[in-house]
Chain A
């Protein structure tokens, strides 16, 4: 096509106009590398030579006793805490240690905190609408219109989190578990590549746990999911690969059966429960 034809073509979308999709390079497999990471708070070693690799599309569970450094690890990945030494890479292109929190979030790392916070006076649909990736300045927000593709995207996420029937109900009527799912849905609206989920089943009923397990396993493959959880039964029900943290470093890694038979693990952690 000659340059003139190209300019006259009304359907033509020039390359500089298309939004750059998060250019995460996962050709080598892993989406997240942590290498020799060390963090200490006032002399206390919260993270001690931590090495961790998460593959693209993987669902990984991280367990460990209190103070094992699970939350600190999440903080490092999301840019909230800076490690003293070590390197953290997202794909093989992005060095997370050189980026701040909003940049890391917009790169496609979403994090769900322990306590769910949803907007109770808004409907589920509206909650997801606000979470959607968009221009969030005042005037673009005032003039924003609900395009069909946005609507489809929201409905798709509602379907995923299993709350489609409650689409137009206020989020305030949701149970604790449903709020957790809605919050995961709000994360999904931002199309993250990697989801960090902190204790998703705390305070859930047995049924809600099962439903959450289904939700998280269905997300894996499309997104990489890292779940930090205390509940052993839950971890057993979803995990293909489990990492045990202890005193800031990896104690064991493998399937649930492997790690639960590991004498070291039994000693420090599972021993209390088994």
Chain B
């Protein structure tokens, strides 16, 4: 089956092995190392790592459409934020009467704006299963409608990138409005608990971190399953020679739509896991800059490799944490400089460097087939 195929593959086994080893190591160091030990991983660090893993899943989703389908989406932050908002709405409803105003149903910001009843689209979010379905459905539907219109009209390349950028910008402006009913520029925050677990306890934070790790593993396997299937090869064919692929009898726009929707849903899941860990979701997640940053992670890590996207997302965000700690003003220059250096010296990113080393090794072991045929 296409989903189990990656599990038999060396590279996926290696990736999952490293990921699970890291999850176990962090869990162990957090739970069993004494507080004053140098090896102790604090709850703060666990949540920070959880945040990196959310970004990694988001980067994998972007790499799926950009690396393998050639669709440079500069609006994937929108899908991430929509998933985040779906989760945020669930968490808001879980607060119940423990908010500042103590209203049993209405979230604080609605009471503050003198709203009398819950808007229709907030119904159902008190149920976890409904909210979790919406985490997939909201970004998926947006991607379906947007993709259907864009791909049917054969909008690709730079034009598509610009439209995706406009999409996320429009959503940001809309979510900034108080009347939209999503908390305006303050967004949704002050969460108390998830599925009955208090969000402020270390145990819940560790649980969210592990859940994110598992989500990344599943997302990676799904993407890997797609790219190693015949559909993945058709995607690459669409990326490199769209007209030729159509001539072979494939419906290019449907392939693009399918992969785009899967990618948007993965981004939504990443956003949903991000929100309870950082404790807030606001319209700045829709900002076009954020979406561009995601693309930079993927480019740095190495496009069309999937694991490169994970490496890129984690490395850049770790660097961001460190740099913004030392010199907050210099971070954007550092990111820009890094991007320039990588595009000039490592056009295939960090993953390209790894592949080159491996290839150099195998080429030394076996003579190339080229001379044999000439």
**Residues of A in contact with B (beta carbons under 8 Å apart):** 102, 105, 117-122, 126, 129-131, 136-138, 141-144, 165-166, 169, 173, 186
Identify which of B37-45, B223-231, B357-365 touches chain A.
Answer: B223-231
Instruction: Answer yes or no: B325 CB below 8 A from chain A CBs.
Output: no
What is the CB-to-nearest-CB distance from B67 to chain A, in angstroms, rounded to a whole number? 11
Contact assessment for B2 and A142 in the assembled complex, using a CB-CB cutoff below 8 Å = yes
| Nearest A residue (CB) for B235 | A141
A-B contact pairs, 8 of them (CB 8 A): A119-B233, A129-B233, A130-B245, A141-B250, A142-B231, A143-B2, A165-B373, A173-B370
Instruction: Answer yes or no: B255 CB below 8 A from chain A CBs.
Output: yes
Instruction: Answer yes or no: B337 CB below 8 A from chain A CBs.
Output: no
Contact assessment for B234 and A141 in the assembled complex, using a CB-CB cutoff below 8 Å = yes
Q: Could you tell me the distance between the alpha carbons of A138 and B354 in the complex, rounded to whole angstroms? A: 33
One of B237, B248, B254 near A122 (C-beta < 8 A): B237
Besides the contacts A138-B254, A143-B1, A165-B373, what 17 more A-B pairs have beta carbons closer than 8 Å?
A117-B244, A118-B244, A119-B233, A119-B245, A120-B240, A121-B240, A129-B230, A138-B251, A138-B258, A141-B229, A141-B234, A142-B231, A142-B258, A144-B230, A165-B369, A166-B369, A166-B373
What is the CB-to-nearest-CB distance from A85 to chain B, in angstroms, rounded to a whole number? 29
- With A138-B254, A142-B226 already in contact, the answer to whether A169 and B233 are too (CB < 8 A) is no
Q: Which residues of A lie under 8 Å from residue B236 when comparing CB positions?
A: 119, 121-122
**Residues of B in contact with A (beta carbons under 8 Å apart):** 1-2, 226, 229-231, 233-234, 236-237, 239-241, 243-245, 248-251, 254-255, 258, 369-370, 372-373
Q: Which residues of B lie under 8 Å from residue A118 when comparing CB positions?
A: 244
What is the CB-to-nearest-CB distance from B231 to chain A, in angstroms, rounded to a whole number? 4
| Nearest B residue (CB) for A163 | B373
Q: Could you tell me the distance between the alpha carbons of A122 and B369 in the complex, rounded to whole angstroms? A: 17
Q: Which residues of A lie under 8 Å from residue B251 when comparing CB positions?
A: 136-138
Q: Could you tell me the distance between the alpha carbons of A173 and B371 in the complex, rounded to whole angstroms? A: 13
One of A120, A130, A165 near B230 (C-beta < 8 A): A130
**Leading 8 A-B pairs by shortest Cβ distance:** A142-B231, A165-B373, A144-B230, A117-B244, A141-B231, A136-B249, A119-B237, A138-B258
Q: Which residues of B lie under 8 Å from residue A186 when comparing CB positions?
A: 248
Contact assessment for A130 and B237 in the assembled complex, using a CB-CB cutoff below 8 Å = yes
Q: Which residues of A lie under 8 Å from residue B250 when comparing CB positions?
A: 130, 136, 141
Q: Could you tell me the distance between the alpha carbons of A144 and B230 in the complex, rounded to whole angstroms? A: 6
One of B240, B255, B373 near A138 (C-beta < 8 A): B255
Q: Which residues of A lie under 8 Å from residue B239 when comparing CB positions?
A: 121
Contact assessment for A119 and B241 in the assembled complex, using a CB-CB cutoff below 8 Å = yes
Q: Could you tell me the distance between the alpha carbons of A32 and B19 in the complex, rounded to whole angstroms? A: 61
Q: Which residues of B lie under 8 Å from residue A143 when comparing CB positions?
A: 1-2, 229
| Nearest A residue (CB) for B239 | A121
What is the CB-to-nearest-CB distance from B302 to chain A, in angstroms, rounded to a whole number? 15
| Nearest A residue (CB) for B250 | A136
Q: Which residues of B lie under 8 Å from residue A121 when comparing CB positions?
A: 236, 239-240
What is the CB-to-nearest-CB distance from A109 to chain B, in angstroms, rounded to a whole number? 14
Q: Could you tell me the distance between the alpha carbons of A119 and B232 in the complex, rounded to whole angstroms? A: 13
What is the CB-to-nearest-CB distance from A250 to chain B, in angstroms, rounded to a whole number? 30
Q: Which residues of A lie under 8 Å from residue B237 when comparing CB positions?
A: 119, 122, 130
What is the CB-to-nearest-CB distance from B137 to chain A, in angstroms, rounded to a whole number? 19
Q: Could you tell me the distance between the alpha carbons of A173 and B373 in the complex, rounded to whole angstroms? A: 13
Q: Could you tell me the distance between the alpha carbons of A13 and B369 in the complex, rounded to whole angstroms? A: 44
Q: Which residues of A lie under 8 Å from residue B241 when comparing CB positions?
A: 117, 119
Q: Which residues of A lie under 8 Å from residue B248 when comparing CB positions?
A: 130-131, 136, 186
Q: Which residues of A lie under 8 Å from residue B240 when comparing CB positions?
A: 119-121
Q: Could you tell me the distance between the alpha carbons of A119 and B234 in the complex, rounded to whole angstroms? A: 10
Contact assessment for B373 and A141 in the assembled complex, using a CB-CB cutoff below 8 Å = no
What is the CB-to-nearest-CB distance from B13 to chain A, in angstroms, rounded to a whole number? 21
Most buried by A among B233, B239, B370: B233
What is the CB-to-nearest-CB distance from A128 to chain B, in angstroms, rounded to a whole number? 11
What is the CB-to-nearest-CB distance from A146 to chain B, in angstroms, rounded to a whole number? 8
- With A120-B240, A136-B250 already in contact, the answer to whether A130 and B233 are too (CB < 8 A) is yes
Q: Could you tell me the distance between the alpha carbons of A54 and B292 in the complex, rounded to whole angstroms? A: 58
